[in-house]
Structure 1
């Protein structure tokens, strides 16, 4: 089968033929239809310091995907051949204290799809049945491929009550955009999002935010004045990992404000802990998704009309992966999708979400 592989310890990815994965006990085999390019995939392609110390090569990369089930192992229940599915890319041990207590998202022994085991940028992928999410309500394969990053957005956004609250989101990448859509959808009073990319801030406008601020030209304080906020934001969703954004968020919270942090900083930086203490600010670190409460939340949000289609801006054939990765690395787009449907015999092509740009080689 065709797969995108990190073959060598150097920058780049290679489209090559590899053996199809064999179905193991308790597993499900999936014919991949769509995949999404994640920041983790960009790190792997670049082969930065994190990738050099994390990966064992060769490795089939990718963890954001949707596809149709083609085979299930004996004893697997509630999953059938033909089901449209997404996958939870964090594989847990099931034996540690947190796993045994039902807190699987806190497993200390988590294995990452496309990082610690062969991933989904391929014609076929296998996963334990417990990591397979069946879409019981109709959903487009493009949107189904977003369930991993959408889960990050939902986990972060729903960390604290949002109804009637004023929400600040720092970072308008794809996950920040989806978090903005969630916050607006569930009843936040004001949702302000910041970034330095006009293109991404324009996308935020399509998702219904109250105000999108380019902090290279304006400030959070000016945005607060435009929204007539006198006491600061009630909830902060930090999606950038940028030290300046974190500091500005802390300075913009009301007393008793709550911050959920998903953005991963590249290095340590100083924080004004006196403000955290004297303003009695709660800070929660967020990683991945709650298994599987977040997945239920995602499905219900879509069922109740949440529209993520504006987040998808570019769509490529898997054969044009280099152009797709360059587009994603540019930091000016929403989500970039790779289409694998013509690599399989399923014949499923689906439609394109409204507003998406289709890029194909001649």
Structure 2
């Protein structure tokens, strides 16, 4: 067996990445090495690739990035049980301590000692990836790797949608990238009322409509997005806001469009600090505002499996482009254009 592999590395603290030859990583007794078969580009990877203020504050370099993947177990550590070479797997991307108050209180997804796969720990844009055995998620071998690698972002969507009551309520999904499109499907599956999709790109709004959005809104210069969202709800305002874009302007427009006593769940990562009028937009409206990160460990993964097994979510409709890893520049350029849904690397 070769001792070398290819990996996409964030080598310097500036825009771009480098495809490099690297040593195949060794494993500790509690770890698993996976032969990566498919990986996908996330919004977080876009922050890392283009190198914005958020990346500067959160990302280690040099490091293989990427955190959404599926593959086949190559080797397991001596202390690992229940995982065998040849198993089809994905992995939870938050590597947590397991001993702090949050971990022991059912909130491991916000463990203060978290190492994040592909951000502060080596990731999956490579031939091989290593993670803790406890993070391994077994996949049905009949599920194609290019779909199995989408379970991580689907988990983001599930966590965001199910962070509060949504049944029968008006919902606005702000940002119809892959997770926003998944959120539309999840919201529809669990009984949301009217679903309004908002995005800058006609391509993604077309996909949003095909996946269940009742209305599609394209913000344009001079157009009052908050007023349009209120108009579409008969003046009542949005009851559940799902913010996936991280755009400061979009966040403020959503908060302005919210109904009193509404709920906003924020998943999109802003590239810098966002000024908000707390009094007008949150306090005097009595809004509930939730910050969403990752997936609940491991409740969300069980919810993902249930939705997929029941046929409530169509992941295949989201994979509209595939690339080999050596074409990463084309892939990131296409992702930046907004003229795609989900881009998958086939390894």
2:295 to 285, 289, 292: 289
- Give the deviation of 1:24 after TM superposition: 1.0
- For 1:300, the equivalent position in structure 2 comes to 306
1:106 pairs with 2:110: yes
Report Cα offsets for 1:58-114 as digits up to 9, x if no partner.
311111111111222223222222222111111111121111223211200110111
Aligned position for 1:333: 340
Give the TM-score taking structure 1 as reference length: 0.88
Q: What is the Cα deviation at residue 230 of structure 1? A: 4.5
Map of 2:245 onto structure 1: 240
Moved more, 245-254 or 105-114: 245-254
1:94 paired to 2:95: no
Q: Measure how far apart 1:27 and its partner are.
A: 1.1
The gaps in structure 2 that reach 5 residues or longer are: none
Q: Cα 1:104–1:223, aligned 2, differ >3 Å: closer, same or farther?
A: closer
Q: Secondary structure at the match of 2:249?
A: helix
Q: 1:258 aligns with which of 255, 263, 267?
A: 263
Could you tell me whether the CA contact under 8 Å between 1:206 and 1:310 is conserved in 2?
Answer: no
Asked if the contact 2:91–2:137 (Cα under 8 Å) also holds between the matched residues in 1, the reply is yes
Deviations 1:24-68 (A, max 9, x none): 111111110111112222232233344344444331111111111
Paired residue for 2:195?
Answer: 191
Query: How far apart are the structure 1 equivalents of 2:259 and 2:274?
Result: 25
Write the deviation string for residues 199-234 of structure 1: whole angstroms up to 9, x where unpaired.
Answer: 1111111211111111217645445545x6342222
Match of 2:218 among 214, 225, 236: 214
Gaps of 5+ in 1: 341-362
The residue that corresponds to 1:351 in the other structure is none
SS in structure 2 of the partner of residue 151 of structure 1 = helix
Change in Cα spacing, 1:109 to 1:300, as seen in structure 2 (3 Å) is same
Stretch moving more, 178-187 or 260-269: 260-269
Aligned residue for 1:202? 206
The alpha carbon displacement at 1:116 in A equals 1.4
Residue 120 in 1 paired to residue 124 in 2? Answer: yes
Q: TM-score if structure 2 supplies the norm length? A: 0.91
1:20 to 9, 18, 24: 24
SS in 2 for 1:320: helix
Q: How does 1:35-184 map to 2 (within 5 A)?
A: 35-136=39-140, 138-184=142-188
Q: Deviations over 1:293-324 (max 9, x none)?
A: 11111111111111122222211111211111
Aligned length: 339
SS at match of 2:25: coil
Aligned residue among 250, 255, 267 for 2:273: 267
Q: Secondary structure at the match of 1:115?
A: coil
